[in-house]
Amino acid sequence: MNATAGESPRLLRALRREPADCTPVWFMRQAGRYLPEYRKLRERHGILDLCWTAELAAEVTLQPLRRFPGLDAAIIFSDILMIAQPMGMQIEFVRSEGPAIRNPVASEADVAELRPVEPQRDLKPVLDAIRLVKRELKVPLIGFCGAPFTLASYLVEGGPSEDYLKTKALMRQPAWPRLMARLTEAVLSHLRAQVAAGADAVQVFDSWVGAVSPEEYRERVMPWSKMIFDALDVPAIHFGTRTAPLLELVRDAGGDAIGVDWRIALDEAWARLGDVAVQGNLDPQALLRTPADLQNRVDDILDRAGGRPGHIFNLGHGILPETPPESVEAVIERVHERTRR
């Protein structure tokens, strides 16, 4: 059972670094292909159909909550590239290859053609899904967006990339600040709209930011991320992967909690981060191991967190499709049981 009566939910307490009855836990991509009930829906609907149909997005969002009542948060089912469609990007999901953009951004002229986003008009299904979910949900709902850099990397590369060479080339052009400003504006208005629709907190996914150097981050990424966190007035989680070289800068850009992946030890990361909440950092691969192995890995992370208020247990990235649902159940139980005061 979650949230003692009269007490604010564990997730929100952790985001304020207040003690809670136990450590909150949720999973990135907790609604997804590892769930049989999700796969069943996907037999009949494309992933973009799920995202653009409020009732389906709400249903998918709630699936893991029904299966695992111990989850401490829901995250709205959506895709970080949804925002790019009303901006004018033509997006396809190629089966098992992820998103592909048919008209990537290559020049200042392309940037000038990007259209401003009006969430109430352009992203209404996301907002409607949030309203539908909130009618049923007993734990906090997390809204989200991609961070400007990670969105820019998709728009420029046209899809996932190994080396982000095009993005890093554009970064040195006058088009870059214009692109980042437009993405920042779109992200902020979308996050605001999600909060107005009922999201209790937001997560900003700078998933690919580990590709840039500290110098590049400081000069060409951070100002726009910071603008977003500075302007928000709800609890915010700032997520990235491979951020070990950037941790202090990512923290300075903002966020009540900083998400870290398994490539850095949680205690080391938290020592560097200082006075901020921390989210993480189980390797998604750990959910594919034996129950004993998995429990050891969970315990190690909890030990490193040391019971300090402000830890949100999560993976370092999304749940893998091969994950047995029982592993998710086991992690939720172990985290709650081992941290209960």
Structure tokens given for 52: 């653009």
Tracing tokens 């977003």 back to the chain, one arrives at 228
If the CB atoms of residues 196 and 271 are measured against a second copy, the closer one turns out to be: 196
Q: Does 81 sit near a second copy (CB under 8 A)? A: no
Give the C-alpha separation, 155 to 83, whole Å.
Answer: 11
Q: Do you know the residue count of the chain?
A: 341
- Site residues for a second copy, 258-287, by CB under 8 A, read none
CA atoms within 13 A on the CB side of 296: 5
Backbone angles phi, psi at 153, to 5 degrees: -65, -40
- Spatial separation of the C-alpha atoms in residues 249 and 119, rounded to whole Å: 30
- CB burial class (10 A; 0-12, 13-18, 19+) of residue 126? buried
Minimum CB–partner distance for residue 132 and a second copy (Å): 22
* 220 classed as catalytic: no
33 belongs to the catalytic site: yes
Q: Which of 29, 182, 220, 304 is catalytic?
A: 29
The DSSP output letter for 316 is: S
Which one of the spans 3-11, 223-231, 260-268, 315-323 is the region binding a second copy (CB under 8 A)? 223-231
Contact between 233 and a second copy per CB under 8 A: yes
- Give the interface segment with a second copy, choosing from 47-55, 138-146, 185-193, 262-270 (CB under 8 A): 185-193
Residue 116 C-beta: closest distance to a second copy, Å: 6
Taking CB under 8 A as the rule, does residue 224 contact a second copy? yes
Query: Contact between 16 and a second copy (CB under 8 A)?
Result: no
**Contacts for 16 with CB less than 8 Å, ≥ 6 apart:** 235, 256, 277
Whole-angstrom distance, CA of residue 183 vs CA of residue 177: 10
CA dihedral (21, 22, 24, 25) positive or negative? negative
Q: Which is nearer to a second copy, 74 or 180 (CB)?
A: 180
Contact 159, 107 (CB under 8 A): no
Q: Which residue, 133 or 180, has its beta carbon nearer to a second copy?
A: 180
User: Which one-letter amino acid corresponds to residue 299?
Assistant: D
Question: Cis omega (within 30 of 0) on the bond before 281?
Answer: yes
Nearest distance in Å: CB 155, a second copy: 15
17 is catalytic: no
Q: Which is nearer to a second copy, 273 or 286 (CB)?
A: 273
Each residue 96-135 as x (binds a second copy by CB under 8 A) or -, in order, gives ----------------x---x-------------------
79 tagged catalytic: yes
Q: Which of 317, 109, 105, 293 is closest to 203 using CA atoms?
A: 317
Tokens in use for 324?
């047995």
Q: Is 299 a catalytic residue?
A: no
Burial class (CB in 10 A: 0-12, 13-18, 19+), 178: middle
Of 59-67, 99-107, 221-229, 320-328, which part binds a second copy (CB under 8 A)? 221-229
Binding mask 143-182 toward a second copy (x if CB under 8 A, else -) reads ----------------------------------xx-xxx
Given 33, 226, 272, 289, the residue binding a second copy (CB under 8 A): 226
Catalytic residue (one of 34, 38, 72, 79)? 79
User: Alpha helices, DSSP H only, in 18-85?
Assistant: 36-44, 47-52, 54-67
Q: Which residues carry out catalysis?
A: 29, 33, 42, 79, 154
Applying CB under 8 A, the residues found at the interface with a second copy are: 112, 116, 177-178, 180-182, 184-185, 188-189, 192, 223-224, 226-228, 230-231, 233
